[in-house]
Structure formats: structure tokens, C-alpha cells
Amino acid sequence: MIRLILLVGTGGFLGTVARFMTSRYFAAYFPSSFPYGTFVVNVVGCFLIGLIYGISEKGNFMSTEWRLILTVGFCGGFTTFSAFAAENMAMLRDNELFNFFLYTGSSIFIGLLATFAGIMLIKILL
């Protein structure tokens, strides 16, 4: 059990660092009231989780440990629902209703679409 905790923690650390770097990049190069960094990490995270689940359903391509490291660890650290919620609250507070609805709707729709695309890509390739 300790081994799994350390493996998932390592994946979480790497995912968190990747999220931080991605968010910083988008904040520096695409300054906007629209939270592009969080949007991108959440959509990419959904796509990655779709790929991982697609691979894990294909048999012996991925061990249970790797699935935990990559989904619970890396993707859990990489994606962020709390930042998504906080950014939505800030847009509501600032009366940016268009950005609020665009961000909320596109995050949910494109996130689900990205997860589906990841699963389907693996089904096509493997």
C-alpha cells in the first residue's frame, strides 16, 4: 500500500508541476480574462484519461499500477476542478456572463468530447 501511495504521489507531483507550467505559459502569452490555462489543462487531461482508459481496456498493455499513477496521480494533479470553480465565480462576480457561459459550457462539452476522442483513438490504433 505504501508503494502505491508513493507512486500515485509521484504522478500527482508531476501532474501538478505540468499544470503549473502550462498555466504560467498561457498567462504569459495569452493574457485574458478567459482562463485559457485551466481550460487547456482540463481538456488535455480529459483526452489523456480517455487514452489511458482506452489502453487499459485493451488487455495487458498497462498494469493496474501504471493506470493509478497516470489517472489518479498525473491526471488528478494536472487537471483542476477547484480552479475551474474559482475562475467561474470570479467571472460571475465581475459580471462577465459571456465568458462564464462560454467557459463552463465549452469545458464540459469539449472535456467529454476529448475523453471520448482519447478512447476512440486507442480503439482505432490498437
pLDDT at residue 5 in the model:
96
pLDDT digits (tens, 9 = 90+) for 63-106: 989 999 999 999 999 999 999 999 999 999 999 999 999 999 99
- Owning domain of residue 51: 2-125
| Domain count of the fold of the chain | 1
pLDDT digits (tens, 9 = 90+) for 42-62: 999 999 999 999 999 887 888
d(C-alpha 41, C-alpha 37), whole Å:
6
Eight-state DSSP code of residue 62: S
| pTM, full prediction | 0.92
Other Cβ atoms within 10 Å of 68 Cβ, number: 17
